[in-house]
Amino acid sequence: MASPENYNYLKKSAAAAGVFLAVFLIILKFIAFLKTDSLAIFSSLADSVTDLLASMISFIAVYFSTKPASRSHRYGYGKSEALSAFLQAVFVGASGFFVIIDGIKRLIHPIQIEQTGMGIAVMLFSIFATFLLVIYQTYVARKTQSLAIKADTAHYTVDFLTNSMVIVSLILVHFFGFIYFDVIAALFISAYLLYNAYTLAAESVEQITDKELSPKIRKKISDIVYSCDKIKGMHDLRTRSLGDVYYFELHLELDGEITLNEAHKLTEEVEQKIAEVYPGCQILIHQDPYGIHEDRLDHQIEGSCRL
């Protein structure tokens, strides 16, 4: 298993690669737009501008998320990645609305596109470069489970798909003179940008507001606990994701007659088994004597107190 230092290096390099690619593509697409006056290229240029801002935010977020816990942030800085993903969603959504407005204007007053050959060449290069970046960032995202890198990967995946649509638009305009397809492509790209913005925002808000992890993960934790000897029960399981780290809190029900040392040893066994399945996770366990009656979080969620 790779060390935390290796994971941090991968995340920083993936975020930096996104920044450098965005700058390079902005220059190329701006030149192509000046030559072709294509709205599809303009929409792709606007997307690259938001990608640059988003990638810069991602890089900053990754930098903070890799910092160790401090006196003022004892849980660490992992949620900076979720915050950056939310900001990225705002940028993407604003870009989508901006391009929709221009698309409607050109439906009313279409503009003839010139020099589509240059636009096609620029967009083909953009597609190839973006494809390489997506491959690398996808690898890093899977390896590190970084939400900031996942968000950056989502941006550039959209770029790959939308730039392919731009190529189709330019070819149709060049060979068939169908100028309205340029507008249609831009509106399609905008709709996809808005959908992508919603997806990013939803995932980041879930993490910021400490939404429970999936039922599958919760069941896995329960199965691990009950697979340990001398564990009589568990309750009040709480889970959340803090950046790329899972946090688990639960109450273990143990025989009330065992010693504190025995209870500690059983608890450590549970923690070790959970950590084997979810490396790097943080676990907090409270021990309760089995059979006591108390008002529990589980009861409160169910809407009843059981004393």
Assign 3-class secondary structure to the chain: CCCHHHHHHHHHHHHHHHHHHHHHHHHHHHHHHHHHCCHHHHHHHHHHHHHHHHHHHHHHHHHHHCCCCCCCCCCCCCCHHHHHHHHHHHHHHHHHHHHHHHHHHHHHCCCCCCCHHHHHHHHHHHHHHHHHHHHHHHHHHHHHCCHHHHHHHHHHHHHHHHHHHHHHHHHHHHHHCCCHHHHHHHHHHHHHHHHHHHHHHHHHHHHHCCCCCCHHHHHHHHHHHHCCCCCCEEEEEEEEEECCEEEEEEEEEECCCCCHHHHHHHHHHHHHHHHHHCCCCEEEEEEEECCCCCCCHHHHHHCCCCC
Which pLDDT score is estimated for 111?
A: 53
> Is it true that domain 215-302 has CATH number 3.30.70.1350?
yes
Look at the pTM and tell me if it is higher than 0.75.
Answer: no
Q: One fold for both 4-208 and 215-302?
A: no
The pLDDT, as a whole number, for residue 132 is: 93
Q: Rounded CA gap, 285 and 168, in Å?
A: 57
Per-residue pLDDT tens over the stretch 66-78: 887 788 888 888 8
Q: According to the per-residue pLDDT averaged within each range, which of 28-42, 134-148, 170-184 is highest? A: 134-148
Percent of the chain exceeding pLDDT 90 equals: 26
pLDDT confidence tier of residue 166, bands split at 50, 70 and 90: low
CA pair distance 147, 152, nearest whole angstrom: 9
Say which residue, 57 or 237, is predicted with more confidence: 237
Q: At residue 258, does pLDDT exceed 80?
A: yes
- How high is the pLDDT of residue 268? 95
Length of the chain: 307
- Chain-centre distance of CA 219, in angstroms? 24
Q: Label residue 267 by pLDDT band (50, 70, 90).
A: very high
Q: Per residue in 231-248, pLDDT tens?
A: 999 999 999 987 668 899
CA torsion 215→243→53→157, rounded to 10°? Answer: -40
Place of tokens 């083909």: 124
Where along the chain do its domains lie? Answer: 4-208, 215-302
What pLDDT sits at residue 2? 55
Find which of 69-83, 121-135, 211-225 is predicted with most confidence, using mean pLDDT: 211-225
* Per-residue pLDDT band at 253 (split at 50, 70, 90): very high
CATH of 4-208, one of 1.20.1510.10, 3.40.47.10, 3.40.50.300, 1.20.120.10: 1.20.1510.10
Tell me how far the alpha carbon of residue 261 is from its chain's centroid: 42
Task: Inform me whether the pLDDT recorded for 305 exceeds 80.
Answer: no
User: What is the sign of the dihedral through the CA atoms of 119, 163, 96 and 185?
Assistant: positive
Taking residues 87-99, report their average pLDDT. 77
Q: How confident is the prediction for the chain on average, in pLDDT? A: 82
Identify the pLDDT of residue 110. 57
Query: Between 138 and 184, where is the model more confident?
Result: 138
How large is the average pLDDT for residues 171-198? Answer: 74
Integer CA distances (angstroms), 47 to 61, 130, 137, 237, in order:
20, 13, 18, 42
Per-residue pLDDT band for 103 (boundaries 50, 70, 90) equals low
Bigger pLDDT: 280 vs 224: 224
